[in-house]
Amino acid sequence: MRKLMWLTVGFVMATLLGCQWLDNQWYLLCAGAAALGIAVCLFLLLRTSKARVAGMLIFGCLLGFLWQLGFDSLYLSNVRALDGLEAPFTIEAADYSFASDYGTGVEGRLQANGKTYAVRVYLPADTALEPGDTVSATFRIGCTLRGCSRESDYYMADGTFLVAVARDEVTVTEAGKLPLRCWPAWLRHQISQRIEEIFPADAFAFAQALLLGDTEQIDYATDTAFKRGTAQGFYKMMNRMGVEMVYNHADYRLLSQRALRALLSFGEVNMFL
C-alpha cells in the first residue's frame, strides 16, 4: 500500500508539471524518458528500501507524463486544430442556458471532424435553451489552451477547452424528447428548483452548494441570518456536550466525505479543529 502511495504521488506530480507543458510535447517526451531511465537504474543498481521508494515515485512520474502525452495527442491536439475556425455548426445543448456578460451561455456538444467536443457556447441574450435542444448558426471557435486565441486559465480550470461565439442569426430547434445523456442535467435542474421552493432566499445558495455542489450563487461577503444561525447553533450544541468554547468566536464550514475520512484517519483522541 505504501508503494502504491508513492506511485500515486509521482503520478500527481507529473500531471501538475504536464499541465504547464501541454503546449510542448517534446518536454513531455524528454521528461518521460528521463523518468524511465532513472527508475530502471534505481531498481537494478540499488536494493535499499529508500531506493525502491524513489523508484516507485519516479515510475509514477513516468506514468503521469505518458498519460499527459496521450491526452494531448488524442484530444488536445484536435482541439487546437479548431482554434480560429469560423463556420456553420449545429451544437446540442448539454445543460440549461444561463445569463452571462457575453449574452446567453450554455454548455454544449460540438461535432467536428468526426469527433464530439465539449464547448462553451455564447448566444444572443434573448436565447433560451434546454438540454437536448440544438442551435444552428455560424460560430467562431476559440481554444482556451496556452498560445491560442482565447487563452484562459479560468476556462481551463473549469475543463472548458473550446468556446463558440455565434456570429450571425441563430436557429433553435427544440428537442422532441429528452435524450438519455441529458437526464443528469435535467435532474439537477429539477432538484435546484425544488430547493429554491423549500428553502428561504438567504439559505438557498448554501443548500444548493451542499446538495448539488454548485457554489456560484454563494456570497461569502454577506453575513446572512442562515449563516449566523447555523454558526451560533454549532457553539450551543458543543457547549451542551460539555466542550468549553468561547461563544461565537469563529465560524465553521461543512466538510465533504473525503475531508471527514481524512480527519478520521488521524490517531489523536482529543483532536480539535
Q: Using one digit for the tens of pLDDT, what is the confidence trace for 207-229? A: 777 777 776 666 655 556 666 66
- Give pLDDT tens digits for 182-204: 898 999 888 888 888 888 777 77
Structural contact between residues 191 and 212, judged by C-beta atoms closer than 8 angstroms:
yes
What is the reported pLDDT for 166? 92
Do the strands 98-100 and 86-93 form a parallel or antiparallel pair, or are they unpaired? Answer: unpaired
Query: What are the cell numbers at 237?
Result: 450544541
Mean pLDDT, the chain, as a whole number? Answer: 77
Question: 121 exposed, middle or buried (CB, 10 Å; 0-12, 13-18, 19+)?
Answer: buried
Regions in the chain scoring below 50 on pLDDT: 251-252
Query: What are the cell numbers at 120?
Result: 462553451
* DSSP notation for 245-268: --TTSS------HHHHHHHHT---
Query: What are the cell numbers at 267?
Result: 490517531
Torsion of Cα atoms, 101 then 107 then 110 then 116, to 10°: 140
pTM for this model (two decimals): 0.64
